Amino acid sequence: MINQELKKMTILQFALTFVFTASAIFLFDKKVALCLLLQGCLLAALFFYFTKKRYRDIERINERLVRILGGEEDLEVWDNEEGELSILRSNVGKTCSILISQRERLKKEKQFLADFIADVSHQLKTPMTSMMVMNDLLEGEEDPEKQREFIQTQSEQLSKMNWLIQTLLTMSKLDTDSIVMKEEKVALSDLIKEVTDPFMVLMDLKNITLIDETKDMQVKCDKNWSVEAIRNIVKNCIEHTDEGGMLTITSEDTNIYSAVKVQDTGSGIDPEDLQHIFERFYRGKTTGKESVGIGLALSKTIMDKQHGRILVTSEPGKGSTFEIRFYKTII
């Protein structure tokens, strides 16, 4: 279908050609008029051909955009030609690629959100069910001792739910960059002390020996968030270490990074689980019943935000070693 604007311009050109030809017949002679007519018709035909071609290319570009916006995976590659239309074609091609990429990312984010909500619902459902059962038992229980036991169980489940909700809120803030990590020089000894102090009673109860062999050095990090990250790792190591075990914390300082190594003598991690332990809500073969699989994921998120890294090696039955690296420059 001929573009209306092109049609009008072509008719106008031919009309002007005939007007000038008629004028030439009266002012000059027929040969000059004929030459003028042929020249006008030729120019009008050339104009019509090239303009129509350009409109056809623009229409093709528009059709491609419509297909992309309609959800079609259009991977068409256009020829590289010179000219303004080629620049437009190239920019439209780049825009199409960006739209396809963003649509794929949005699809993945929607799937992640759906899985995330399902996981959260599952994790909250267990303590809520337990509390509902305890509440029903409390209504018909007259024994004060049993009542205290049920209330204690409810309190524990409430604490678990509160911790889970607070942790999820923290992770969502980290994911959306709502939290800005500070960069400060921190004495490693102060950092490790703050990490291990809350676990001293638990380690005494399990008769776990803590060996601190960290060097007198400084690391560049956000102290509070780094404490949170390492604390989750230490907690995980303690939970997987039997009574009478050992927890060793060492350090390493290189030109590229400063590192904290946490080594336990626990049950270790199965090779199949090793590559998944930092995934949210992942529960491996040796994971305890009370674990929700979010502590290590939070640690990794914190270190990622600081451009750090967590490495882990493990051997089933012999223990695991976590290495937390704080890089001195962004790599």
pLDDT score at 168? 78
pLDDT score at 248? 95
What is the DSSP secondary structure assignment for residue 137, as one 8-state letter? H
Check pLDDT > 60 for residue 86. yes
Please state, as a whole number, how many other Cβ atoms lie within 10 Å of the Cβ of residue 125: 10
Residue 254 vs residues 167, 183, 226, 257: alpha-carbon distances, Å: 33, 19, 19, 5
Name which residue leads in pLDDT, 192 or 66.
192
**Superfamily of the domain at 184-327:** Histidine kinase-like ATPase, C-terminal domain (3.30.565.10)
pLDDT score at 76? 58
Q: Which residues pair with 312 in a beta bridge?
A: 322
pLDDT score at 277? 87
Check pLDDT > 70 for residue 79. no
How are beta strands 309-315 and 257-264 bridged, if at all? unpaired
**Cα–Cα dist 289/281, whole Å:** 13
Name which residue leads in pLDDT, 47 or 186.
186
**Environment class of 227 (CB within 10 Å of its CB; exposed 0-12, middle 13-18, buried 19+):** buried
Give how far the C-alpha of residue 112 lies from the chain's centroid of Cα atoms, to the nearest Å: 10
* Mean pLDDT within 137-150: 80
In the chain, what are the domain boundaries?
A: 4-76, 116-175, 184-327
Contacts with 110 (C-beta within 8 Å, 6 or more apart), sequence order: none
pLDDT score at 1? 44
* Mean pLDDT within 98-120: 76
- Minimum mean pLDDT among 137-146, 227-236, 308-317: which range? 137-146
Residue pair 44/10 in contact by the 8 Å Cβ criterion: yes
* Mean pLDDT within 213-220: 90
**Start-to-end C-alpha separation, the chain:** 57
Please state, as a whole number, how many other Cβ atoms lie within 10 Å of the Cβ of residue 77: 6
Domain spanning 116-175, CATH class: mainly alpha
Average pLDDT, the chain: 79
Check pLDDT > 70 for residue 62. yes
Name which residue leads in pLDDT, 135 or 187.
187
The token duo for 116 is 């995330």
**Cα–Cα dist 120/128, whole Å:** 12
pLDDT score at 246? 94
Amino acid letter, 198? P
pLDDT tens, position by position, 194-212: 999 999 999 999 999 999 9
Please state, as a whole number, how many other Cβ atoms lie within 10 Å of the Cβ of residue 237: 24
| Count of positions (residues) in the chain | 331
How are beta strands 257-264 and 184-187 bridged, if at all? unpaired
* Mean pLDDT within 88-99: 74
Residue pair 190/216 in contact by the 8 Å Cβ criterion: no
pLDDT score at 250? 94
pLDDT score at 313? 93
pLDDT score at 271? 86
**Cα–Cα dist 258/250, whole Å:** 11
Give how far the C-alpha of residue 286 lies from the chain's centroid of Cα atoms, to the nearest Å: 28
Check pLDDT > 80 for residue 55. no
Residue pair 277/240 in contact by the 8 Å Cβ criterion: no
Q: Is 88 helix (H, G, I), strand (E, B) or coil?
A: helix
pLDDT tens, position by position, 170-182: 877 787 777 888 8
**Closest by CA position to 294, among listed 282, 305, 306:** 282
Check pLDDT > 80 for residue 243. yes
Helices 188-196 & 223-239, crossing angle to 10 degrees?
A: 50
**Cα–Cα dist 166/23, whole Å:** 89
The token duo for 95 is 């825009």
Residue 301 vs residues 21, 49, 50, 170: alpha-carbon distances, Å: 80, 60, 57, 10
Residue pair 198/232 in contact by the 8 Å Cβ criterion: no
pLDDT tens, position by position, 8-35: 666 666 676 666 666 656 656 666 666 6
pLDDT score at 121? 74
